[in-house]
Amino acid sequence: MPSTHRWNRGTTLATPGKPLVVGGSPNQRGVVAAASYEARKFGIHSAMPSITAIAKCPALIFVRPRFDVYRDISTSIHAIFKRYSDLVEGVALDEAYLDVTENRQNIPYASTIARHIKTAIFQETQLTATAGVSINKFLAKMASFSEQAEWVDSDFTRASDRLCRTASD
């Protein structure tokens, strides 16, 4: 769902469009915890040594992690998930799997639920989110990668909705 680097609101607002990572300093054997889309264009990713990241992009902006802020935002986002399903499996501060087969809102399509959740996350946190919809966790994760541009209504999602409807008939 939401990308951790965006949780550093003040920094990302002051540096729009610039490559940014959350992580430890390259001068102190740090590691990248999260990378902005702009940084990813240089091949920078989480778990990469900071020294390698700065070599790939000398203009890279490093931001120290703010775990107290991340925890608070994560709690808010997971509360939004719980509005739609009792079956929420948290994977990380900013990621979870939801089984919405039987959902609290009685919404018939998983892609509609995903849009509702993304809208709620944005309205309540000003953070964008991605979502993948499918019949299992692996395919849902793959769908979320194909959907990084912050929209849900992809051919993959529509096909998953059809498959889910067929499987339940």
Catalytic residue among 95, 102, 124, 150: 95
Q: Are 50 and 60 in contact (CB under 8 A)?
A: no
DSSP string computed for 69-128 = HHHHHHHHHHHHHHHH-S-EEEEETTEEEE--SS-TT--S-HHHHHHHHHHHHHHHHS--
Is 89 known to be catalytic? no
Query: What residues are annotated to the active site?
Result: 95
